[in-house]
Structure 1
Amino acid sequence: MVFNDELWTISAVRRKVTLSTVENSVYNANRRLWVEQSRWRPPEHPWVKLNTDGSWLSENSAMGMGGVIRDSAGMWRGGFSRGVRHGDVLRAKLLALEEGLSFCWDGGFRKVSCECDCLGVVTLFQDRSMDRDHLHKHYDVIRCIKCMIARDWGVYVSHILRDTNSVAHTLANWGVRNLGSNVFWRSPPEFILLPLGRDSMS
């Protein structure tokens, strides 16, 4: 068999076809996995899910914190945005988690699944001990969060992709653009409806 002026044997053609089939299967499997991981999923009843994020502007070191609490039906149970001066991106994400946990506790939620798109934050709370926390730049916030997690309730913190965290990300961006703000949203604000709708369709 001649193809592109090259002589191909039947066995060579079969190998090419087999290799192409395997490559397509791997690509499709990886794409399905990516799509699956990019979907926001509600928690199991009676848990609530807390998504948090922090935003930071390098030009003025302003921080924005945002988060949303949703139940097993995906219904909005509360959200928050806050904007403050002087910080860094990691501190913003830590403060967002601290504030979100505080709202959950005050709201009477005792089974809370926390999701954050910053692996550095999630890793800090996989170890519940406080032995080495004093060495960290943001020891004050880390200690407060660990003390809250140690209360009599069920809390775990897990990592998600940025695409899955768009609602919290949008709330944090609102905070960093509105310095001095400290808002608890009892119902979804208008600017959050689009990312919230995308989550509900997933």
Structure 2
Amino acid sequence: MSKVKYAIYKDNYKLITTTFPQIRWSSNYKELISKGEKFIHDTKVTTVMWRKPPYQWVKINSDGSALNNPGRLGAVDIIRDQKGEMLLAFATPLGEGTNNKVELEAAIFGMTLSLELGYNKIILEVDSQFMVDWIMHKAEPHWSINTQMLKLQALIRHTHKFKCNHTLKEANFVADSLSKHSHKITSPQLYFNNHQIPK
């Protein structure tokens, strides 16, 4: 155990002396060890959970995936009702582009599908705070994604009620997992619950 501690302190010492050359081995190593032993890591725990939408609302969990930025893109949406049951899921590859573009494209698909299914009280939940700020007019998007932003705002105007929430990636894990799948397919795919397939 003492060998492991020594190795850790030695690595830390090298890192610190590179950053702060005024620290010398002979005069300050014992002080460094003493401070290291008193160090307490401050851990913060946050409860993360997915919440059902209110009565007569649907929630879209939307996500985009870029293998590089820019790189190959894939978009997904999962639409769930007030009971938390999946109405449908959607995945599609989108060619090449940036992560901001794919996040917006995913939201456009989700909003379009929800409106086509007849839902007009919609919560859009994404794990990009930038996107929430753009949608809620708290920040201006980059000019290169302005076309997508205008399409999304036009869809929002067709809703009766609309909310856009930021969520942590852990609460959006179903959409995040499906977004990885979007890189393995070659055409758009819709997934319905068996009893909800439109006739």
Distance 1:63 1:124 in 2: 20
Aligned to 1:183: 189
In our comparison, the structure showing a higher alpha carbon Rg is: 2
Aligned to 1:102: 112
Q: Does the 8 A contact of 1:52 with 1:168 survive in 2? A: yes
Q: Across the two proteins, how many residue pairs are aligned to each other?
A: 154
- Structure 1 residues 104 and 59: CA distance shift in structure 2, 3 A: closer
Q: What letter matches 1:138 in structure 2?
A: I
Q: What letter matches 1:105 in structure 2?
A: L
Scaled by the length of structure 1, the TM-score of the pair is: 0.70
Structure 1, unaligned runs of 5 or more: 1-25, 189-202
Distance 1:58 1:168 in 2: 18
Distance 1:60 1:88 in 2: 4
Aligned to 1:75: 85
The Cα of 1:155 is off from its aligned counterpart by 1.4
Distance 1:152 1:161 in 2: 25
Q: Does the 8 A contact of 1:48 with 1:70 survive in 2? A: yes
Deviations along 1:105-162, one digit per CA (max 9) or x if unpaired, are 0010111111000011111011299xx66x6211111000001111242111110000
Aligned to 2:181: 174
Higher relative contact order, structure no. (Cα contacts within 8 Å, ≥ 6 residues apart): 1
Aligned to 2:4: none
Q: Does the 8 A contact of 1:84 with 1:181 survive in 2? A: no
- Say whether residues 1:85 and 2:91 are aligned partners: no
The Cα of 1:60 is off from its aligned counterpart by 7.8
Q: What letter matches 2:130 in structure 1?
A: G
- Say whether residues 1:149 and 2:156 are aligned partners: yes
Q: Does the 8 A contact of 1:62 with 1:87 survive in 2? A: yes
1:23-102 → structure 2 map (5 Å cutoff): 31=45, 34-35=46-47, 38-58=48-68, 61-102=71-112
Q: What letter matches 1:167 in structure 2?
A: V
Secondary structure of 1:144's match? helix
* Seq. identity, %: 22
Secondary structure of 2:56's match? coil
Aligned to 1:124: 134
Structure 2, unaligned runs of 5 or more: 1-41, 195-199
Aligned to 2:166: 159
Name the Cα RMSD after superposition: 2.4
Q: What letter matches 1:92 in structure 2?
A: V
The Cα of 1:68 is off from its aligned counterpart by 0.4
Q: What letter matches 1:81 in structure 2?
A: A
